Amino acid sequence: MKRKFQGARTSGTSAEQPSSMNPRLTRSQQRTICSQLGHVKLQLLYKASIHGFTGAAFHQRCDNRSPTVSVGYNASGFVFGGYTKQPFSQSGQYVYDDQAFLFTFNGENLLKYPVTGPEYAIKMVGNSGPYFGEALVLVYGNQSVVHSNTGNYYNFSATDMHGNDLQLTECEVYQVEETPEFEKPWRPMVWESEKRTEMMNSLKSYCPADHSLSQARVLLIGPVGAGKSSFFNSINSVFRGHVTNQAIAGSSATSLTTQFRTYSVKSGREGKPLPIILCDTMGLEENTGAGLDVDDIISIVKGHLPNCYQFNPTAPLHSEAYGYNKSPELKDKIHCVVYVIDACKISIMATKLEEKLAAIRRKINSMGVPQLVLMTKVDEACPFVAQDIKNIYKSSYIKEMMQDISARLGVPLSCVVPVKNYCEELELDVNCDILLLTAITQMLRSADSYFDDLSGRISSAQIKE
């Protein structure tokens, strides 16, 4: 299904105010295109509805600028265009470019059509806009139309490319700019095996601030496929010394976790349980009556839900149900809530899902329970991190993602922790382990804040009495 866009004006002048120069290409679409080009960002140069649907206006804004991404929009909702590393001119000549490609969006996915005749990749024509080898021309002959001729140096389906709708509602050209990564990590980390050993020993010896407890309980909440179960498996792997898959995890359109499960991590196969219990839940879904029910989340946090409770998205647990804990103790309650979010999907998070997360967060806030965000799949989101996980805090893209989810969920940036779960690996990696152990450490610190706050409230109540 093609993404629909509101129509834009098909004429305009350069007298428009600069404030109108807003990209029509969504942030998600920009990131998708940039993922094909490396560590880059897009800077808008030309917008036909403002500068004019003419070759002269296009060349005035875009000549001698490179590389560029040109994008066309039509009333049928198609978003399509092309990339070239060559600077535009009005020479009338073809220009060689073996890196050029055409593209169109299919929903949030990019369909890419590499150049097949690189010596004819781009043509420099004065009375037209971006001209891709007789195959695709945006603003053709000083008109708000597209010229399309599949098979001429690029192979594509006209139906897939633009739905055979050759009338443009907008045309934009972006310059591709390098985005230098941070020279120094913006969040310091020690990447050494000794550090991993130190963190593991510290977690083994941890005691909750409330000495009546032996374990802190942490609830994992997140959309379907975000990596909640995989996170438990990854933590379990670190302490087992090899990759394990105790919790059911994988790819599915609906949640693979259908029960409320509590997992206690052991220090080795025969070792004693660590002082933390990870509580796994059914995945959140944007639609009402699907996925984890918000009322069930509150019941979990209050300690009412029994282990292995079978979730029913259409009906939350009620107080008379079998196994309902009417008088939960502190050990039954949740001491820290963690939202598990896929870094690759932050920019395309559905509005309904974002609203559901906000509603959950408001209720958890009113209960005084600390909250963190666990950002997963960072290697899939950023090629720089995929190259080396130690680049995590040097990546400007990852920092932007963390700032984005911080703003969306209303948590401080210091409460956003990125990790890479073990999903395809057969052996452990010390750097992944350090990120995972850092996340557990932050969870236990947050739980201690809960216990300290609870102790303070009890002391205040006793003084008043």
Residue with tokens 């198609």: 78
Whether omega before 67 lies within 30 degrees of 0, making that bond cis, reads yes
**Predicted confidence band at 7 (pLDDT cuts at 50, 70, 90)?**
very low
Q: Which two tokens stand for residue 24?
A: 């029509």
Could you give the count of Cα atoms lying within 13 Å of 448 in the half-sphere of its Cβ? 11
Beta strands in 227-383 (DSSP E): 259-266, 273-280, 309-310, 336-342, 371-376
The chain-wide mean pLDDT, for the chain, equals: 86
Q: Domains, the chain, ranges and CATH?
A: 18-178 (no CATH), 193-464 (3.40.50.300)
Distance, in Å, from the CA atom of 345 to the CA atom of 217, rounded to the nearest integer, reads 27
The share of the chain scoring above pLDDT 70, in percent, equals 86
Residue with tokens 């510290």: 202
Of 131-135, 192-196, 224-228, 323-327, minimum mean pLDDT range = 323-327
**Predicted confidence band at 424 (pLDDT cuts at 50, 70, 90)?**
confident
Predicted confidence (pLDDT) at residue 17 exceeds the cutoff of 50: no
Sequence-separated (6 or more) residues with CB below 8 Å from residue 78 = 2, 72, 104, 105, 161, 162, 163, 165
pLDDT tens column, 285-328 = 776 655 567 788 888 899 887 776 665 555 666 676 777 788 88
Which pTM was predicted? 0.69
pLDDT tens column, 196-215 = 999 999 999 999 888 889 99
Longest CA–CA span in the chain (Å) reads 89
Is 355 exposed, middle or buried (CB count within 10 Å of its CB: 0-12, 13-18, 19+)?
Answer: exposed
**Eight-state DSSP code of residue 367:** T
Distance, in Å, from the CA atom of 388 to the CA atom of 190, rounded to the nearest integer, reads 14
